[in-house]
């Protein structure tokens, strides 16, 4: 698998704002910001989330695993997205289940709070 790069392209006189997704040796694809907002779940137009949506859509269209870890670069308009192995989503689901189990008993308050901090730190 290859890393996916997304780049914000501002509006011009003839084109709306858009995000371009590309990977080495793979034809690039460009989405307008409005079409990406339509793909998002939830509200708001946080540009970081739109980069992640564009990268996931790019991966999905190529039959790649759309589960990605994303990060910015020195240029705030460019983001890089790397594939997460399939084991990571399963591990995250296990952490959520553990949190649910620990939530039913006050005996595990300390452990539950640690799991809750971990889940928050992972932005789940």
Nearest to 55 by CA among 67, 41, 73, 38: 67
Give the separation between CA 104 and CA 97, rounded to whole angstroms.
12
- Check whether 75 has a pLDDT greater than 80: yes
What is the pLDDT, as a whole number, of residue 43? Answer: 46
Nearest to 23 by CA among 50, 106, 43, 63: 63
pLDDT digits (tens, 9 = 90+) for 5-26: 999 888 889 988 888 999 988 8
What is the pLDDT, as a whole number, of residue 94? Answer: 72
Range list of β-strands (E), 25-88: 26-32, 68-72, 78-83
- Check whether 38 has a pLDDT greater than 70: no
How open is the CA angle 33-76-26, to the nearest 5 degrees? 65
- Check whether 34 has a pLDDT greater than 60: yes
| Mean per-residue pLDDT, 79-97 | 73
Give the bridge partners for 25, in sequence order.
none
- Check whether 70 has a pLDDT greater than 70: yes
Give the bridge partners for 19, in sequence order.
8, 31
- Residue 47's pLDDT band, with cuts at 50, 70 and 90, is low
Domain layout of the chain by residue ranges: 4-83, 87-121
Q: pTM value?
A: 0.60
């Amino acid at each position: 698998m290859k890393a996916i790069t997304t780049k914000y392209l501002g509006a011009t006189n003839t084109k709306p704002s858009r995000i371009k997704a590309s990977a080495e040796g793979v034809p690039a694809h460009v989405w307008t910001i409005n079409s990406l907002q339509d793909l998002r779940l939830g509200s708001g137009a946080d540009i970081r989330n739109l980069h992640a949506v564009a990268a996931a859509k790019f991966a999905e269209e190529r039959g790649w695993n759309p589960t990605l870890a994303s990060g910015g670069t020195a240029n705030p308009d460019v983001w890089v997205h790397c594939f997460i192995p399939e084991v990571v989503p399963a591990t995250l689901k296990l952490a959520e289940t553990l949190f649910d189990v620990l939530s039913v008993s006050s005996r595990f308050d300390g452990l539950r709070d640690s799991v809750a901090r971990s889940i928050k730190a992972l932005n789940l």
